[in-house]
Amino acid sequence: MKFAVIVFPGSNCDDDMFYAIKDGLGEDVEKVWYTEKSVEAYDAILIPGGFSYGDYLRSGAIARFAPVMESVIEEAAKGKPVLGICNGFQVLLEAGLLPGAMQRNKSLKFICRQTTLQVKNNATAFSEKYEQDEEITIPVAHGEGNYFCDETTLQELQDNNQIVFTYKDDINGSVGDIAGIVNKEGNVLGMMPHPERATLDLLGSADGLPLFQSILNHWRKSHVVTT
């Protein structure tokens, strides 16, 4: 399986993502600069955290118009797995690949610590290696991670089982304690916590690794060659 890690000016978690795939999964992975016009050659697309374009206007608002994003949107429409973490989640929201928006944390302070998440849907390409309702430890590092959507959208997310991860505790004011959601098709995941920073016990938790293993496992099952 071949992964692409999209790099924007201001990305600062691209190395974390790169080595989560290279060392954690042992799979092929390449960094792809934001000026590239196509990501068609890759099996999965990863958008890392950071401060793309300095978070001017709104977090992710400028990165959404980077040349590479047109191809990212096209590949997502084909059903390829697309994962956006932290600023990557914000980019996916701005691009319309996921519903909702991000606001400043209710504390108006940057939050950087370990958090406990609950797996609300383990039947996705990103969560099948977890147990339903399993509690996992994943760090967060964000100032604008307060997920917001209107009541109608929240109801749709709940009805379609699109909420994949929730915070056990209210850490930033997110509606429904939402930490991560997928699109209706289930191939695009956005989440604020950083699983790429939780792939080894040495880092404080290895609970993030099953997320990447889920992507690989799901891809292998869909690419089984039968005779």
pLDDT digits (tens, 9 = 90+) for 39-79: 999 999 999 999 999 988 889 999 999 999 999 999 999 99
Q: What is the pLDDT of residues 79-133, one digit of tens each?
A: 999 999 999 999 999 999 999 999 999 999 999 999 999 999 999 999 999 999 9
Torsion, CA 147, CA 200, CA 125, CA 226, rounded to 10: 170
Q: What's the angle, vertex CA 88, arms to CA 84 and CA 94, rounded to 5?
A: 105
Task: Tell me the catalytic residues.
Answer: 86, 194, 196
Domain of 82 in residue numbering reads as 2-222
- For residue 159, being part of any structural domain is answered with yes
Rounded distance, CA 223 to CA 47, Å?
23
Domain contains 118: yes
Task: Report how far residue 48's alpha carbon sits from residue 46's, in angstroms, rounded to the nearest whole number.
Answer: 6
For 149-186, write each residue's pLDDT tens digit: 999 999 999 999 999 999 999 999 999 999 999 999 99
The predicted structure's pLDDT at residue 58? 87
pTM summary value: 0.96
3-class DSSP state for residue 97?
coil
The residues near 148 (Cβ < 8 Å, ≥ 6 apart) are 100, 101, 102, 103, 174, 175
Burial class of residue 123 (count of CB atoms within 10 Å of its CB; 0-12, 13-18, 19+) = exposed
State how far the Cα of 101 lies from the Cα of 98, in Å rounded to an integer: 9
CATH code, domain with 68: 3.40.50.880
**For the chain, how many structural domains are there in total?**
1
- Residue 227 placed within a domain: no
- Do the beta carbons of residue 145 and residue 158 sit within 8 Å? no
